[in-house]
Amino acid sequence: MKIGFIGLGNMGAPMAKNLAAAGHDVTGFDVAGTTAEGCTVAASGPEAAAGADAVITMLPNGDILRAVAAELIPAMAPGAVLIDCSTVDVESARAVADQAADAGLLFVDAPVSGGIGGAAGGTLTFMAGGSDDAFAKAVPLFDIMGQKAVHCGDAGAGQAAKICNNMILGITMIGTCEAFALADKLGLDRQKMFDVVSTSSGYSWTMNAYCPAPGVGPTSPADNDYKPGFAAELMLKDLRLSQQAAEAADAATPLGAHATAFYDAFVSGDGKGMDFSAVLPLLAKMTRKDM
């Protein structure tokens, strides 16, 4: 396939590289001038999109998606598919889907889970929203860039799934870190804590696969001075999106709201540039009066 790829950052560049390595003709563009191995460089987004069978975007937020889509859609050939892998608000995804449909294009919102490592290794999970035809056209590309793609429903459903998933992730990470901080103060060895919780009812992804305690469980960013696998700023972005969606849907998410406020304070303090699991050393230093 001839593919245009817009947004060659930490996630987009390895995704585009994997598509090119699989034999696809990939033309990429990024406003920062970054490139991807094996890809032709375009001078603009519309140039990368012209004549493409599929155009993939990986962008920072919904406002940028709307602006970029307004440039790309007129340049795309009818019947092509626009696949947005950004994590944005549901309303922006649906608005771009409507614009694409009006232009005779297919559209899939397909945010990802798996981080930079998953992008590089081609093991991402895609949460997709769109028509059956649009999803079917995108699946062969998902199969190259990832290990799983779930068709969650109509346009916007992929973003809804990502937002709900990451709200759980943020809440669970705070709870996991609070438990380790409490265990420390109770004199419980962190390894013993892990051995119990990881095989008991406290089992979770944040404990078992991404443990925030250095030297405990599988290797995680905690073992690399909390350098980001998933940056705290990105967690805050996703939590804010969850609360925006909750407000629009009139949904009660008290723990989601608490997690958003917690990560807001964390990123405003020492957490900027750190992994989202770096709340453990912060909590380990806090006392009840700091709450």
Indicate which residues carry an active-site annotation: 162
Between the two ends of the chain, the Cα-to-Cα distance in Å is 54
> What is d(CA 268, CA 127) in angstroms, rounded to the nearest whole number?
30
The DSSP code for 105 is -
CA 1 to chain centre: 25
DSSP state of 270: I
What is the dihedral angle through the alpha carbons of 184, 189, 192, 193, rounded to the nearest 10 degrees?
Answer: 0
Nearest to 276 by CA among 263, 261, 259: 263
Query: How far, in Å, are 207, 230, 250, 284 from residue 234 at the CA level?
Result: 20, 7, 24, 23
CA 72, chain centre distance (Å)? 22
Kindly report the backbone phi and psi dihedral angles of residue 249, in degrees, each rounded to the nearest multiple of 5, phi listed first: -95, 0
- In this structure, how many other beta carbons lie within 10 angstroms of the beta carbon of residue 255? 15
Query: In the structure encoding, which two tokens stand for residue 68, read together?
Result: 């970029």
Q: 146: which strand partners?
A: 124
DSSP, res 231? B
Reduced DSSP (H G I as helix, E B as strand, rest coil) percent helix, strand, coil of the chain, to 5: 55, 15, 30
Q: What is the rounded distance in angstroms from the CA atom of residue 175 to the CA atom of residue 45?
A: 42
Query: Do residues 256 and 242 make contact, with C-beta atoms less than 8 angstroms apart?
Result: yes
